[in-house]
Amino acid sequence: MTESPQLPPENVFDWLDAEAEKRAAAGLVRRLRPRPAQPEELDLAGNDYLGLARDKRVAGAAAAAALRWGSGSTGSRLVTGSLELHTELELELARFCGAQAALVFSSGFAANLGAVTALSGTESAIVTDKYIHASLIEGCRLSRADVAAVAHSTPSAIQHALSTRRKPRALVITDSVFSVDGDLAPLGELAGICRENGAALLVDDAHGFGVLGEGGRGAVHAAGLSSAPDVVTTVTLSKSLGAQGGAVIGPRRVIKHLVDTARSFIFDTALAPASAAAALSALGVLKSEPDLPGKVVENAGNLAMQLKAAGLRASLPDAAVISVQAPSAEAAVAWAESCAEHGIRVGCFRPPSVPDGISRLRLTARADLTEADLDRAVKVITASAPRGATA
């Protein structure tokens, strides 16, 4: 038997300090920066694409629901947590997207975990784009399936992995709009490959829902796949809808299966009344203002073109997200800080959040950005660019 070292209790977590030093040396320390209630900065970092998080109708619906139903939902959906609000939101989400049914979760992360694990298992092969969101990767890790993560946006690699799989069932997983560079997956082509190979397709439409497709119905709807019997969509309620929570949208039998088996649904307290009501209200706004989503895409395109014209390595966005490559993790942090000092809040992605190891600024466009906002943003981002940031 190996002797266990006699560590005094106060030293049990010493290894955390050693890890923290390593992260500091690699420029990977993360800081939590509280946002004031009335931000003075121009926000190009959040995911409130339609500006609905502060919309009085949406916030008012949240407040009214909290007063009527309580501040918490009090239990899981299967015990005391199911409210009419949840059912109404599920019906509305399904109807809006043109799908049979929907199920809401307490976050998009939980929706992804639940969908991936419930729709796969030891008899399954999962094939994913290697740049899928962390929540889907965690789902794959928990799934007990054979998992192959293949080259980014390469349908032939998905086809190859599917046709050489050793398991009878198969699930292909992709983001619709990838969260770092904002590029769109070839959903139509992927759906075709899935069909040829007897696989289901799971699409995380977190960054497409509310931004792409007719009236913001999302990338899956735009690809004509929202009522497909073999396609399942996940969304978050916390980006375009300005609320909190997530949902799985798809065939009725998939949703029934999730109610019975998805552990992040069954063992999780139901979505709070305020969040459900906010999402429902935001969906109403989206329906009454179908031009909002187009403005997001237009603003993102203009911002990216101007940054590129200034020589920066900016991605060309398919939706709201733009990335700008930085020469190093430290340079990215300093760049983002310098932007903040000049009144522009931008995101900063470093390893391990960027799978290819290239640190980036991450910018997000909103529907309500003005031309003056865009001009100011381009001036500040360009003037604070570190050496080596231009192409």
CB-wise, 361 or 374, nearer to ligand PMP?
361
Considering only 62, 161, 206, 314, the residue that binds ligand PMP (CB under 6 A) is: 206
268-293 burial: b if 16+ Cβ within 10 Å, else e: bebbbbbbbbbbbbbbebbeeeeebb
Token readout for 11 is 């030293």
Considering only 117, 159, 233, 238, the residue that binds ligand PMP (CB under 6 A) is: 238
> Is 236 a residue that touches ligand PMP (CB under 6 A)?
yes
Q: Residue 352, preceding bond cis, omega within 30 degrees? A: yes
CA gap 388, 336 in Å, rounded:
15
Neighbours of 298 (CB within 10 A): 13
Smallest distance, ligand PMP to C-beta of residue 322, A: 14
What phi and psi, each to the nearest 5 degrees, are found at residue 170? -145, 145
Residue (of 112, 242, 129, 258) closest to 185 by Cα position: 129
CB-wise, 146 or 205, nearer to ligand PMP?
205
> Is 243 a residue that touches ligand PMP (CB under 6 A)?
no
Map tokens 């890890």 to a residue. Answer: 19
Counting beta carbons within 10 angstroms of the beta carbon of residue 308, is it exposed (0 to 12), middle (13 to 18) or buried (19 or more)? middle
CB-wise, 159 or 244, nearer to ligand PMP?
244
CB-wise, 190 or 385, nearer to ligand PMP?
190
CB-wise, 207 or 345, nearer to ligand PMP?
207
Smallest distance, ligand PMP to C-beta of residue 357, A: 19
CB-wise, 107 or 159, nearer to ligand PMP?
107
Helix/strand number for the chain, H first, E second: 14, 11
For the segment 266-285, give every residue that binds ligand PMP (CB under 6 A).
none
> Is 48 a residue that touches ligand PMP (CB under 6 A)?
no
Check if the beta carbon of residue 389 is closer than 8 Å to that of residue 312: yes
> Is 246 a residue that touches ligand PMP (CB under 6 A)?
yes
Quote the distance between the C-alpha of residue 73 and its chain's center: 24
> Is 133 a residue that touches ligand PMP (CB under 6 A)?
yes
Check if the beta carbon of residue 233 is closer than 8 Å to that of residue 220: yes
Considering only 49, 96, 109, 209, the residue that binds ligand PMP (CB under 6 A) is: 109
Q: Which stretch binds ligand PMP (CB under 6 A): 30-38, 93-101, 102-110, 194-202?
A: 102-110
> Is 360 a residue that touches ligand PMP (CB under 6 A)?
no
Q: Which stretch binds ligand PMP (CB under 6 A): 158-166, 199-207, 251-259, 368-376?
A: 199-207
> Is 179 a residue that touches ligand PMP (CB under 6 A)?
yes
Beta bridge partners of 269: 76
The secondary element (H helix, E strand) that includes residue 167 is none
DSSP notation for 320-363: SEEEEE-SSHHHHHHHHHHHHHTTEEEEEE-TTSSTTS--EEEE
Per rule CB under 6 A, count of chain residues that contact ligand PMP = 14
Question: What residue is closest to ligand PMP based on CB?
Answer: 108
> Is 73 a residue that touches ligand PMP (CB under 6 A)?
no
Q: Which stretch binds ligand PMP (CB under 6 A): 27-35, 114-122, 202-210, 358-366?
A: 202-210
Q: Which residues bind to ligand PMP, rule: CB under 6 A?
A: 107-109, 112, 133, 135, 175, 179, 204, 206-207, 236, 238, 246
